[in-house]
């Protein structure tokens, strides 16, 4: 993998990780076009490890929220958008489904689920679900109203993101909107909820494939991709939070459907 390819993949990772459009789909297509999918056989590992750059971007961006969740006493503020320790349990409970499903479905996730036609189908179907929820949801609740049952429901949504092409931010934002959260609040909690799972997956893949990464001379490309993912990821988070305060998610729905159809057509035509 060249430095330019690594930077392109890092850009895609950082740009698509936090938007509800599936980073896995974009990286899978890019890896295929670069001829790296089968020749190196580490698509899932590269994706998971480079996600750590996106995770660090979220940690830096939401550092005040994270500090409040860990340190601020529950109910210590009357501000409806201020996080406190009450959010800790919803995040913990919401992380359990993705961990359990990730362990049980690991072989499928890293194998047949990563087929491009499956990814395309996931992009389309979960995009349509987001559109339906966007149209029907009330979207009135703020961050301070999130409870354990909300965490579980959104966590189940996160478990569906294990299907490549579904999009972690897409499924969790969809579930959060279905729970009645405001759009920006839905994205904010979605990102907080995703941090434990993405961090764990990235560190696991890094440890598991460390020897293969070194042997395949992937250390430098992964470092470059991770740095790029951090820079672009921070900017993308800032953009999405501000965008969702004023606009619905339909632009992402249309993007998912169009790109999913294009990928499916290219696969069926033997071009991918």
Write out pLDDT tens, residues 68-108.
888 877 665 556 666 677 889 999 999 999 999 999 988 88
Mean pLDDT of the chain: 88
| Share above pLDDT 70 across residues of the chain, in percent, rounded to a whole number | 92
- Which whole number is the average pLDDT over 180-187? 94
Kindly report the backbone phi and psi dihedral angles of residue 132, in degrees, each rounded to the nearest multiple of 5, phi listed first: -65, -45
Q: Provide the sign of the torsion angle of the four alpha carbons 43, 238, 80, 139, taken in this order.
A: negative
Residue 38, pLDDT score: 47
Residue 39, pLDDT score: 45
CA–chain centroid gap for 10, Å, is: 14
Buried b (16+ CB within 10 A) or exposed e, 117-153: ebbbbbbbbbbebbbebbeebebebebbebeeebbbb
**Per the structure block, which two tokens stand in for 173?**
């934002």
Residue 272, pLDDT score: 81
* Neighbouring C-beta atoms of residue 205, cutoff 10 Å: 22
Residue 180, pLDDT score: 95
pTM of the model: 0.90
Residue 51, pLDDT score: 84
- Which whole number is the average pLDDT over 21-26? 89
- List Cα–Cα distances, 93 to 46, 48, 147, 197, in angstroms: 28, 22, 10, 12
CB burial class (10 A; 0-12, 13-18, 19+) of residue 247?
exposed
- Residue 115 CA to residue 38 CA, distance in Å, equals 12
CB burial class (10 A; 0-12, 13-18, 19+) of residue 64?
exposed
Phi-psi sector, 167: left (phi>0), alpha (psi -120 to 50), beta: left
């Amino acid at each position: 993998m060249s430095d330019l390819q690594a930077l392109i993949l890092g850009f895609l990772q950082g740009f698509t990780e936090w938007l509800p459009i599936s980073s896995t789909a974009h990286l899978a297509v890019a890896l295929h076009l670069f001829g790296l999918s089968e020749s190196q056989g580490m698509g899932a590992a590269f994706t998971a490890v480079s996600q750590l750059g996106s995770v660090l971007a979220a940690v830096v961006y939401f550092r005040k929220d994270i500090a409040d969740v860990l340190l601020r006493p529950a109910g210590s503020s009357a501000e409806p958008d201020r996080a406190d320790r009450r959010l800790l349990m919803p995040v913990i409970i919401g992380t359990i489904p993705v961990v359990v499903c990730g362990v049980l479905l690991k072989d499928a996730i890293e194998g047949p689920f990563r087929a491009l036609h499956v990814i395309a189908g996931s992009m389309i179907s979960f995009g349509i679900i987001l559109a339906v929820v966007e149209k029907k949801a009330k979207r009135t609740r703020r961050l301070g109203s999130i409870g354990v049952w909300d965490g579980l429901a959104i966590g189940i949504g996160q478990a569906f993101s294990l299907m490549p092409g579904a999009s972690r931010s897409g499924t969790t934002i969809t579930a959060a909107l279905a729970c009645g959260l405001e759009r920006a609040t839905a994205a904010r909690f979605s990102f907080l909820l995703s941090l434990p799972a993405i961090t764990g997956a990235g560190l696991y893949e890094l440890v598991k494939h460390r020897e293969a990464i070194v042997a395949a001379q992937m250390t430098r490309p992964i470092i470059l991709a991770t740095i790029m993912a951090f820079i672009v990821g921070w900017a993308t988070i800032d953009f999405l939070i501000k965008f969702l305060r004023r606009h619905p998610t339909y632009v992402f729905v249309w993007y998912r459907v169009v790109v999913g159809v294009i990928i499916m057509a290219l696969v069926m035509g033997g071009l991918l």
